[in-house]
Each structure stands twice: as C-alpha cells, then as structure tokens.
Amino acid sequence: MRRNTKGHHGYIRARKRNLSIMVGVLTAGIIGLVLLGYLTLGTKNNWLTIVAILTVLPTANLAVVLTALLPFKGRPTEEYEQVISIVGDGVLDTELIITSKTDKSMEIDYAYFHENGVFCYTTQKSMDVKRTEEYLKTMLKNNEVASEVKVFTDWKAYLKRLRSLEPSSRKTCDEKLLQMEGVFRAIAL
C-alpha cells in the first residue's frame, strides 16, 4: 500500500483514517488499563491507572487534529488527473489545510509552484481570498522565499491560468520552488 504524505492526492482521507484508528486504539488501551488495574488490584489507585492517565494527553492531541480535519474532504481523482495533465511533473501540492494562529483553517485544494508565483485553488466558499493571499505571501517572505501568491475560487479560471504558464519540472526546477513547497507543507495540517 502506498503511503500518502502531506501535499499528495488522497492525503486527507488517509490521514483521517489513520488518526481514527490511532485514537480508537489508544482510547481502548486507556479504558483497558484502568479496568485491568481495578479488576486485578481492587483499587483505582495503582500504576496502571497512572499509565492510562499519561496516555490521555497524546490521545487528546491526535483527537484534536482529527477533529480539525473532519470537515475537509479530498479532491476527486478525475479533477486531480485534469490538473496533472496540465502541470505534468511540476511542483504541485494538493489537499493542504493551511493553519494560522488568528484565522480558521484554510483549505488549499491545489497549489502549483512556478517561477511566476504560487497559484492556488480553493473550493472553500467562506475563505477571505485577499487575506489568505497576504498570509501566504507573509509566510513565504518570513522564510526568505518571497513570491507572488494568487488564490483562485473559479475552477475554469484556475485551469486557464495553469495552461498559460510555461511548463516546469520538479527535477530541474529552481531550489526556491521546493523551498516554497516546504513552507506550505510546514504550515499545513
């Protein structure tokens, strides 16, 4: 089975599945430890209860990430293949959930990194596009890879813009594009 990593098609679905399994197993383990300690020792004041309590925090951290990912869905395969047919082996990330300390999470369905800038597409209707563009520009500038960022909400306009760009390749592109991709992945869930 291919492992889905951040920025690749299918990541959100795989991440939600993996987090659900981990949270379920850890929760069952916590309950099991408490019950085992109580049934074998006859009291809740034992080392197994302490271990169970110490396991609650990592479980809660995973549950928070899972809860943040629940409203988001991955992109359809046909749509992804349509974008891939245009950008080829260029630097493209998909299914990024960008986080910020002040705003809610921003869903970037596609982010294409090109010498002319970063071209993003979102289906999130409630997104403040100008604010998102400024936030992403600021994050790139803070990491010393300043670039223009354009967020599209119109699918046809996004595809038209991608078609108008000179093709690029991940293998021969400027290192700056890969650094920009790294910044996007670093600030994403």
Per-residue pLDDT, 1: 40
Residue 175 lies in a domain: yes
pTM (predicted TM-score) = 0.84
How confident is the model over 153-164, as pLDDT tens digits? Answer: 999 999 999 999
- Tell me which DSSP letter residue 188 carries: B
How many folded domains does the chain comprise?
2
- Domain annotation covers residue 1: no
What pLDDT, on a 0 to 100 scale, did the predictor assign at position 43?
A: 87
Same domain, 110 and 141: yes
Contacts of 83 (CB under 8 A, 6+ apart): 92, 94, 110, 112, 159, 162
**Within 13 Å and on the Cβ side, how many CA atoms surround 147?**
24
Residue 45: give the domain boundaries: 11-69
Pair (52, 95) in one structural domain: no
Residue 168: CB atoms within 10 Å: 20
